Amino acid sequence: MSQDSSDAAPQVQPDDPNIAVAYEEGGRYWTADDVPTFNVAADGTVDWLTFSGYRRYNSECIVCHGPDGEGSTYAPAIKNSAVQMGYYDFVGVVVNGRKNGNSVMPQFGDNLNVMCYLDDIYVYLKARGVDAIPRGRPGSKEAKSDMIQEEENVCMG
């Protein structure tokens, strides 16, 4: 982990295949590689997951990583990590944690309040990382779909 990896905004083109929406299913948006991504309408309305991710980030991650993924003295900025690390490495770090001397990212693999919303947090940070959404609480959002609600119920048990 180096601060440098998170400082500069990544150069992302809107049609970047790692960002661009290839298809939508039940209110979830996906890239061509079947990786979750965000959707922001022209009027700024965000998809449900991005909004939900903002809320989950603020309850589980903000204490160390600071508001809006901008980092704190304790933990690095992670608003660019979702884009730079990619989905699978991002998930791996959150599930398993990571230790670098005194710098410790806890593991969240047993925490349903994180695990059931991992895609939400990921797409929220992805949107932040490419400045698709500004800092702060997203103003308007898509409705939560029945499919997302059902998956949440199953996941939370």
- Contact between 78 and ligand HEC by CB under 6 A: the answer reads yes
For 38, half-sphere exposure in the C-beta direction (CA atoms, 13 angstrom radius) is: 29
Which of 55, 106, 144, 151 binds ligand HEC (CB under 6 A)? It is 106
Closer CB to ligand HEC, residue 99 or residue 137? 99
- Contact between 114 and ligand HEC by CB under 6 A: the answer reads yes
Rounded Cα gap, residues 157 and 154, in angstroms: 5
- Contact between 103 and ligand HEC by CB under 6 A: the answer reads yes
- Contact between 155 and ligand HEC by CB under 6 A: the answer reads no
- Contact between 65 and ligand HEC by CB under 6 A: the answer reads yes
Please name every residue paired with 23 in a beta bridge, in sequence order, or none if there are none. Answer: 30
Rounded Cα gap, residues 73 and 157, in angstroms: 36
Mention every residue, 6+ apart, whose C-beta is less than 8 A from residue 151. Answer: none
b/e sequence 94-114, b meaning 16+ C-beta within 10 Å: beeeeeeeeeebeebeeeeeb
Which of 60, 68, 119, 120 binds ligand HEC (CB under 6 A)? It is 60
- Contact between 1 and ligand HEC by CB under 6 A: the answer reads yes
Grouping H, G, I as helix, E, B as strand and the rest as coil, residue 28 is strand
Closer CB to ligand HEC, residue 3 or residue 43? 3
DSSP single-letter state for residue 99: E
Binding site residues, ligand HEC, CB under 6 A? 1, 5-6, 60-61, 63-65, 75-76, 78, 81, 85, 90, 93-94, 98, 100, 103-106, 108, 114, 121
